[in-house]
């Protein structure tokens, strides 16, 4: 196993105490290779400098291992009972997320953090100065002049206008030097959690519906080719992703005070929410499959997805 994979693998048991952080990777490396003197430099070489890149690699490895846990649940069920359903597979994935405790919030924080901050070029300062020169800002407040000083009012007025315009130039110069002549845009990725849940839903449906399925039962086209994904394929994954994400949002809540860290106290509520959401999901999908004219069921499905997102927004991090 490569050193990179060894570091990530040995960091997983540390997530419950050290979270998804760069120091967790450093601690793992020092445990694996105590003879290394400068562990931070090795982490920089393998994962990149800073904290965003190494933490992102750790979150991705943790997510991939979570999907492997789902597949292990499916294989175990095939050996014992011969069949596994969505609730069993997704419950195993919820348990995997619950194992990191309150630090699951850090994983979500990384999911909404883009790899690089998007930006647009800042217009040249001469153009901005020319555009803003036509804008006359009101002068700062000053006490009313006395009658004896009325003769000096006309001479002080141009000075007040110059003083009112000076901050604009200084602000432009400071903005240009701070941003490198670029304007930063929104530095979050709002669809990150949804794509994360999509990958989980896609893996769960693959394990339940397609893996180990006889070749003759796979839907094929005119040329005997496997039929590609259609509207039903996308509808199932969007609905299941929303159902799972709504349940996992329960795990984002903080622990009660003086709560033991051995077991996540929010796991039972998350499993109960998952069971309820899956019942709604299955009934909605069944209705959509039986008829394409039932607009009421479609509206109910949209409302179900909306309520799922409301639960995520009400969680601690969002």
Shared domain check, 240 and 134: no
Q: pLDDT value at position 156? A: 47
For the chain, how many structural domains are there in total? Answer: 3
Last residue of a domain, one of 159, 184, 209: 184
Confidence of residue 133 (pLDDT cuts 50, 70, 90): low
Shared domain check, 217 and 149: no
Shared domain check, 209 and 298: yes
pLDDT in tens, 248-299: 999 999 888 766 567 889 999 999 999 999 999 998 888 776 655 455 555 6
Last residue of a domain, one of 33, 61, 84: 84
- What is the three-state SS of the chain? CCHHHHHHHHHHHHHHHHCCCHHHHHHHHHHHCCCCCCHHHHHHHHHCCCCHHHHHHHHHHHHHHHHHHHHHHHHHHHHHCCCCCHHHHHHHHHHHHHCCHHHHHHHHHHHCCCCCCCEEECCCHHHHHHHHCCCCCCCCCCCCCCHHHHHHHHHHHHHHHHHHHHHHHHHHHHHHHHHCCEEECCCCCCCHHHHHHHHHHHHHHHHHHHCCCCHHHCCECCCCCECCCCHHHHHHHHHHHHHHHHHHHHHHCCCCCCCCCCCCCCHHHHHHHHHHHHHHHHHHHHHHHHCCCCHHHHHHHHHHHHHHHHHHHCCCCC
Shared domain check, 143 and 250: no
Last residue of a domain, one of 129, 160, 184: 184
Shared domain check, 151 and 64: no
Residue 124 has pLDDT above 70, yes or no: no
Shared domain check, 201 and 128: no
pLDDT in tens, 210-243: 776 665 566 665 566 555 566 778 888 999 999 9
Residue 316 has pLDDT above 50, yes or no: yes
Shared domain check, 199 and 317: yes
Shared domain check, 259 and 167: no
Domain extent, residue 48, equals 1-84
């Amino acid at each position: 196993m490569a050193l990179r994979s060894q570091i990530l693998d040995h960091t997983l048991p540390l997530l419950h105490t050290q979270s998804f952080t760069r120091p967790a990777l450093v601690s793992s490396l020092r445990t694996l290779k105590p003879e290394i003197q400068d562990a931070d430099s090795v982490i920089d070489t393998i994962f990149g400098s800073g904290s965003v890149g190494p933490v992102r690699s750790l979150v991705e490895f943790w997510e991939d291992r979570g999907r492997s846990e789902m597949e292990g649940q499916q294989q175990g069920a095939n050996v014992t009972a011969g069949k596994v359903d969505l609730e069993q597979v997704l419950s195993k994935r919820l348990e995997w997320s619950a194992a990191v405790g309150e630090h699951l919030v850090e994983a979500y924080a990384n999911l909404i953090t883009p790899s690089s901050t998007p930006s647009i070029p800042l217009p040249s300062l001469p153009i901005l100065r020319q555009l803003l020169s036509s804008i006359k800002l009101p002068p700062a407040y000053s006490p009313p002049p006395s009658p004896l000083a009325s003769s000096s009012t006309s001479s002080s007025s141009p000075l007040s206008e110059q003083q009112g315009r000076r901050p604009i130039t200084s602000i432009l110069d400071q903005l240009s030097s701070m941003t490198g002549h670029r304007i930063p845009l929104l530095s979050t990725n709002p669809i990150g959690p949804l794509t994360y849940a999509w990958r989980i839903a896609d893996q769960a449906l693959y394990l339940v519906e397609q893996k180990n399925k006889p070749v003759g039962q796979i839907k094929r086209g005119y040329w005997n080719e496997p039929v590609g994904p259609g509207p039903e394929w996308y509808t199932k994954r969007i609905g299941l992703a929303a159902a799972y994400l709504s349940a996992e949002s329960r795990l984002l809540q903080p622990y009660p005070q003086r709560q033991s860290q051995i077991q996540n106290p929010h796991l039972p509520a998350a499993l109960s929410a998952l069971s309820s959401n899956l019942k709604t999901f299955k009934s909605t999908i069944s209705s959509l499959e039986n008829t394409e004219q039932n607009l009421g069921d479609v509206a109910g499905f949209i409302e179900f997805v909306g309520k799922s997102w409301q639960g995520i927004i009400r969680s601690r991090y969002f």
